Amino acid sequence: MTEQILKVEQVEAIALIGLNNPPVNALSADLRAATYKALQILRSDDAIKAIVIYGEGRFFSAGADIKDFGRATEKPTLPDLLKDINDSSKPIIVALHGIAFGGGLELALAAHVRVGVSGLRAALPEVKLGIIPGAGGTQRLPRLAGIRAAVDIICTGKEVSAEKALEIGILDRLTNDSARDAGIAAANDVLTGKIPANSTDGLSIAPASTVIDAARQKYTGGLKAPLRALESIEAATRPISEGLALEREIFLQLMQSDERAGLVHAFFAERATAKIPEQNAGLQEINSIGVIGGGTMGVGIASAFSIAGFPVTLIELQDEQLKRARTIIDLNLSGALKRGKMKQEAYEKTRDILHFSTNLTDLAKTDLVIEAVFEDMDVKTELFKQLDNICKPGAMLATNTSYLDVNTIAAATKRANDVIGLHFFSPAHIMRLLEVVVAEKTSPELVATSFNLARKIGKIPVRAGVCDGFIGNRILSRYRKCCEYMLLDGAEFDQIDSALESFGFAMGPFAVADLAGLDISYTTRKRKAKTRPVEERYVRIADLVYEQGWHGRKNGCGFYVYDDSKIRVPNPGARDIVTKERAMLGIEPQTFTDDDIVARCLTTMIQEAANVLDEGIALRPVDIDAVELFGYGFPRHRGGPLHMADQIGLDTIIDRIRTYAEEDDYFWRVPTLLKQMLSKNQTFADLNISPEK
């Protein structure tokens, strides 16, 4: 009976349905139909008194297949199947193990008895994709666990442990048996009366207006999905048919929203970056890591590998800095333990596998060495010359440079094929993006190994070619210039920050500059000064702020003034600098609306992203979106700049660039790629499928 997608058997008076749709038992249209058909047949058999549904493989079910959403309305729909389960005259027991997410958990909620296996994780994560549970989750979970628990689980999309699921009423029993055995045992107990079998839909729930009102206040002004979820949860106090109808209506409305489209694009972007030309190359064995530099980046990189269980040796030539690095890494590791990113056993083991030294020769036998020293080409090339002599043959040599030419760094060695860029983002033990910068002579094995390592330490790797700033910082540089031009021309720095934060960025560009340190960006601008084109408009405001001794948050003053609570207040001195600079240049301030600010920033990001793509620095549009989403705080529900470009339309983007070019025809130029795409009626989504231009 549908052996490939279901495993159906009988043990005495109990029928067993094993979901068998690897790798995660996604509830595809085919699996829904097969399960529905199996239930009809089994219920008509008088010899069968109870039915158990469990999952084959590692998981019960990860829920609906996102790629299968286009078939969501095919009969039987998931709501159809779950109503059939709930209405069954024979008790249906669901045995959960591994994960029960989304539709998988909704299926369990519709059953008459739920038994869990230790280690189970349950969740209704739909809000993370811009939708709500659409198969009864907002109606049945409140009936079993109460409105407060339902709001907490559904509106955040967070995971619930097996123990918590038992405590709040999702599970009737928790066991260490296999899911199949646990289901059989529970079914026998149902048949002997030891466990009552109840229809979830027949349960009632008391209103909880205080809980709903507090949650509504919390989520107002944010994404749509949590608020719409609250609306549906509140309806759980009505008859089940009314609540299910409202839930489905909201679900289908959100399926058509831009928010959902952006979040789904972000979901797939996280996975799409793994497709690289070198993905079938052999992997080098990496069992030990060396990190050079005890500053913020070095400490973060060492922490990231330590948290993942790699033996790490951190090199810092200054004793005092080495001591400070040790203290910060200890804090990072204890923080990872508290957040559940490390288990106690692994945390204790780091004491034996984490080493500190002031001697580079201690890296002689290390498999991978990553430098995170001062961003200066002479410093880095001299270091790589030393590493060339110290490190064993075949060792990977990586630079964490944010901007510098990896080809030049590689050329300082006699083993350029062993050199690669691994550009982490600060704080490196938390930020998920890793730009893997492939130089001219980098071996394919190094690239494949870097991607494999990235996944082991929980990073999202994106392949980048060599240019100043690679993908992310190159686009960031352009974005910052756009903001500086608007600042000089009449917008205020706090208005620019506020507009972009309202758009969805966690912080605006001037607040970010303060956070990173105005000394860092000042150094970068000075490095580029000699090669700056004479036609380029240059804004001195950030330089003048820095030269006042205002370095940002690190000394309490930059574009903003910070108190002990880190609350930012616009710095009057910075405002004066802006006003004087405008007057000196004879600029009459113009008015910018928040929409103007967002449109210009987004347009220049798309403009530069198109150039990055056209030059082959990025493989695909989705790689650029991933960089912006996971490294630069681009709002996830917007999907990324190139996803938004498709929504806006290339004709509109090109018209904007041409309009802005009337003010500055050097900065604003229509990229060749955009013209070609418009002439071929192509979208960036098309280029993700086929990279030919």
Q: Rounded CA gap, 516 and 425, in Å?
A: 11
Query: Does 302 score more than 90 pLDDT?
Result: yes
Question: Mean pLDDT throughout 362-383?
Answer: 96
In this predicted structure, the answer to whether residue 244 has a pLDDT above a threshold of 50 is yes
Q: Smallest Cα–Cα separation from 183: which of 280, 316, 60, 330?
A: 60
pLDDT computed for residue 3 by the predictor: 52
Cα 86 to Cα 50, 182, 198: the distances in Å are 13, 20, 9
pLDDT of residue 1: 41
Q: What is the pLDDT of residues 644-674, one digit of tens each?
A: 999 999 999 999 999 999 999 999 999 999 9
- Establish whether domains 6-256 and 289-464 are of one fold: no
Work out the mean pLDDT of the chain and round it to a whole number: 94
pLDDT of 138: 97
289-464 carries CATH number 2.40.50.140: no
- For 78-98, the pLDDT digits (tens) are 999 999 999 999 999 999 999
pLDDT at 69: 67
Say how far apart CA 302 and CA 355 lie, in whole Å: 10
Is the C-alpha dihedral spanning 295, 388, 437, 471 positive or negative? positive
pLDDT band at 492; cut points 50, 70, 90: very high
Strands (E), 170-236: 173-175
Give the CA distances from residue 584 to residues 13, 308, 488, 532, 545, in Å, rounded to whole numbers and listed in that order: 90, 54, 11, 22, 16
The long-range contacts involving 538-543, CB below 8 angstroms and separated by at least 24 positions, are 539/481, 539/484, 539/485, 539/487, 539/488, 539/581, 540/581, 541/484, 541/487, 541/488, 541/574, 541/577, 541/578, 541/581, 542/484, 542/513, 542/518
What digits encode the pLDDT tens for the residues 389-426? Answer: 999 999 999 999 999 999 999 999 999 999 999 999 98
Q: For residues 50 and 70, what is the distance between their CA atoms, to the nearest angstrom?
A: 33
Looking at residue 183, what is its pLDDT? 97
- CATH architecture entry for 6-256: Alpha-Beta Complex (3.90)
Q: How confident is the model at residue 690 (pLDDT cuts 50, 70, 90)?
A: low
**Residue 89 burial class via C-beta count within 10 angstroms: exposed 0-12, middle 13-18, buried 19 and up:** exposed
Work out the pLDDT band at 104, boundaries 50, 70, 90.
Answer: very high
* Residues with active-site annotation: 106, 126
CATH of domain 472-616+619-689: 1.10.1040.50
* Closest listed residue to residue 182, CA positions, set 115, 278, 266, 281: 115
Contacts for 629 with CB less than 8 Å, ≥ 6 apart: 266, 269, 636, 639, 640
Measuring CA to CA, how many Å separate 8 from each of 20, 55, 574?
10, 11, 72
pLDDT of the residue at 4: 85
**Max Cα distance, the chain (Å):** 93
Average pLDDT over every residue of 490-518: 94
Please tell me the distance from the alpha carbon of residue 40 to that of residue 484, in angstroms, as a whole number.
67
Query: What residue segments make up the domains of the chain, in order of their start?
Result: 6-256, 289-464, 472-616+619-689
Please, are residues 185 and 146 in contact by the beta-carbon 8 Å criterion? no
pLDDT, average across residues 317-328 = 93
The CA-based dihedral angle spanning residues 408, 411, 417, 423, taken in that order and rounded to the nearest 10 degrees: -30
Reported as a pLDDT band with limits 50, 70 and 90, residue 689 is: confident
Which of these, 87, 98, 386, lies nearest to 240 by C-alpha position?
87
In 3D, which of 151, 262, 244 has the Cα closest to residue 201? Answer: 244
Question: What DSSP letter does each residue of 401-454 carry, written as one string?
Answer: -SSS-HHHHHHTSS-GGGEEEEEE-SSTTT--EEEEE--TT--HHHHHHHHHHH
CB 50 within 8 A of CB 15: yes
* pLDDT value of position 692: 44
